[in-house]
């Protein structure tokens, strides 16, 4: 999940696979997606798909899922995983949020974690709506905060998340998005995984957390920021 990863996190496919298992192991995000908009039979584009985590999870529900990735190493890993899954409705393609390799109105839903709550992201929002059919929806999976993970992140990252998600003045609401909060967790039950991931991701803060008494998980609040594409009159 890009929103809770420090900027220096490397694009290591094995690391992303471990994170896919540890972040939201209860798959609450998928349940929340279904409550926002039905997924069955829909065409979905996952922008910044990494190793294809969400296309793999959605393959049996969606009509067709496009995993869009720009990093060469992650792109190779995503294509390898898609091929070995034998799911014919997954297509992994090269591209990025600013220039999606899809025609106008090609999909019903765009998922993204690469749209930040900042005016500099407005071109990426417009590009996402270009490829969404009228009545379809853009859903951005981002960080909401007010959780255990906040203590591990840089203070400015936490402050930015709080400012962006304020109910009246936050960036998402000012730009027409609705907010659905998902109370998920970062699983630390496997000690080997915990002692590998937290120091690697969060440095001294991660090490300090593991040295003290701690639960086998961190509370992680994710935001699903969603907006429907208007149907022309």
Residue-wise pLDDT for 127-160, tens only, equals 999 999 999 999 999 999 999 999 999 999 899 9
What phi, psi does 221 have (nearest 5°)? -100, 120
Residue burial 19-40, b: 16+ Cβ < 10 Å; e: rest: bbebbbeeeebeebbeeeeebe
| Calpha distance 170→158 (Å, rounded) | 14
Question: Does the pLDDT at position 12 exceed 90?
Answer: no
Q: What is the pLDDT of residue 38?
A: 94
Burial class for 124, CB neighbours closer than 10 Å (0-12, 13-18, 19+) = buried
What phi, psi does 76 have (nearest 5°)? -60, -45
Q: What is the pLDDT of residue 21?
A: 92
Closest CA to 133 of 211, 25, 24, 230: 230
Residue listed under structure tokens 């496997």 = 190
The 3-state DSSP class for residue 14 equals: helix
| Calpha distance 177→222 (Å, rounded) | 15
Q: What is the pLDDT of residue 16?
A: 87
Domain architecture of the chain: domains with CATH: 2-224 (3.40.50.150)
The 3-state DSSP class for residue 126 equals: helix
Q: What is the pLDDT of residue 183?
A: 98
| Calpha distance 17→205 (Å, rounded) | 22
Say which range, 9-13, 36-40, 84-88, 179-183, has the weakest mean pLDDT: 9-13
Residue listed under structure tokens 């409550």 = 35
Band of the pLDDT at 25, cuts 50, 70, 90?
very high
Question: Does the pLDDT at position 4 exceed 70?
Answer: no
Q: What is the pLDDT of residue 13?
A: 87
Question: Does the pLDDT at position 185 exceed 70?
Answer: yes
For 147, 151, 207, 222, the CA distances from 183, given in Å and listed in that order, are: 9, 16, 24, 7
Angle, nearest 10°, between helix axes 13-22 and 191-211? Answer: 80
pTM attached to this predicted model: 0.94
pLDDT digits (tens, 9 = 90+) for 77-101: 999 999 998 899 999 999 999 999 9
Share of the chain above pLDDT 70, in %: 95
């Amino acid at each position: 999940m890009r929103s809770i990863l420090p900027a220096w996190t490397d694009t290591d496919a094995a690391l992303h696979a471990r994170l896919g298992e540890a972040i939201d192991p209860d798959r609450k995000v998928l349940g929340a997606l279904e409550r926002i908009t039905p997924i069955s039979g829909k065409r979905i584009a996952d922008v910044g798909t990494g190793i294809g985590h969400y296309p793999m999870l959605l393959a049996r529900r969606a009509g067709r899922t496009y995993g869009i990735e720009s990093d060469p190493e992650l792109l190779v890993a995503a294509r390898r995983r898609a091929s070995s899954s034998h799911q014919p409705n997954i297509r992994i393609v090269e591209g990025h949020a600013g220039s999606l390799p899809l025609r106008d109105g090609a999909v019903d839903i765009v998922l993204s974690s690469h749209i930040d709550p900042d005016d500099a992201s407005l071109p990426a929002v417009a590009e996402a709506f270009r490829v969404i059919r009228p009545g379809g929806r853009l859903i951005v999976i981002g960080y909401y905060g007010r959780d255990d993970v906040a203590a591990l992140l840089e203070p400015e990252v936490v402050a930015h998340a709080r400012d962006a998600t304020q109910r009246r003045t936050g960036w998402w609401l000012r730009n027409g998005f609705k907010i659905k909060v998902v109370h998920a967790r970062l699983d630390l039950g496997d000690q080997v995984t915990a002692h590998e991931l937290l120091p690697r991701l969060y440095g001294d803060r991660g090490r300090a957390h593991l040295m003290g008494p701690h639960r086998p998980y961190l509370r992680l609040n994710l935001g699903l920021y969603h907006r429907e594409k208007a149907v022309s009159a």
